[in-house]
Amino acid sequence: MSTIQYKDATDTLSGPSPAIWSNCPVDMLLARPDKGIYFFDDFNGGNILTNNQAETALGRFRAYTGATAGSDITDAGIVGGGIKLNSTTDNEGVAIRTLPCFKIAAGEGPLWFEARLKFNTITDSRQNAFVGLATGTAVSTSFPITTSDAMADSNFVGFQKVFADGDALDSTYKADGVTQVTVGTDAVTLVADTFVKVGMYFDGSRLYFYKDGARLSDSKAITGTAGTDFPSDTVLGIVIGLMLGHGDDAILTLDWVGCAQMRVA
């Protein structure tokens, strides 16, 4: 199997980016689950949830919402499907996750991940968000983001909208019990209320990060040393979360998310 294709092919269309997905054997993964897993959700299956819900089943995900009315998950009104993660009160959040079924470690098969999303505001010190893969902890006001506007002490890899820096996403990872690592500071520039696609590709030895189908300059070598800083010793699932740290409303709109991985024979 080839590795990175079209690495500089910026793609702002609404669908998955060829630079990430062109070498993903989607048909085989759908037909032969023994060869790996392919997950894609366009959020057109009734993924809505009222406020004040502890983690509960929500379509193909599990989700929680904050206590105050307006901290909820609603229909985004997008052709083809989409949802909004909304929070209206300081120190309240909302998040969704899948069960863990992916692993980024030396010797594991290639992995593809991408999501299309936007934020209502890029003002500093308003909200914190995470989009990526994380451990199988139940989503709550403590995970993936805490009420202190920081990522939980857990296992994760993906993109974080840091509370103090609202106009960009950092590429980042962490293994539980060790210090969080920022791969690329301000890796993805954001524009308010404008969709962007963020993605990752693991070729078996190195993890690459993407914005709108273009490979970013910073990457992470995945070695055989498991769990020393990168969460390579645990199975991860898709996790997308928003935490409000201010009185202004926070909205994270999701068009779709997908992740796939080949199994090692």
Query: Using 50, 70 and 90 to split pLDDT, how confident is the model at 7?
Result: low
Token reading at 162: 């840091």
CA–CA separation, 104 and 202 (whole Å): 7
What pLDDT is recorded for position 1?
A: 38
Supply the pLDDT for residue 229. Answer: 85
Q: Is the pLDDT of residue 155 over 90?
A: yes
Half-sphere exposure of 72 (CA within 13 A, CB side): 11
Q: What is the pLDDT of residues 166-223, one digit of tens each?
A: 999 999 999 999 999 999 999 999 999 999 999 999 999 999 999 999 999 999 999 8
pLDDT at 262 over 50: yes
Given a cut of 80, whether residue 40 has pLDDT beyond it is: yes
Residue whose structure tokens are 């909004």: 84
Sign of CA dihedral 43, 44, 46, 48: positive
> pLDDT digit string (tens) for 55-95?
999 999 999 999 999 999 999 999 999 999 999 999 999 99
pTM score, whole prediction: 0.95
Mean pLDDT score of the chain: 94
Q: Determine the pLDDT at residue 96.
A: 98
Domain locations in the chain as residue ranges:
75-233+245-256
Dump pLDDT digits (tens) for 85-121: 999 999 999 999 999 999 999 999 999 999 999 999 9
The CATH classification number of 75-233+245-256 equals 2.60.120.200
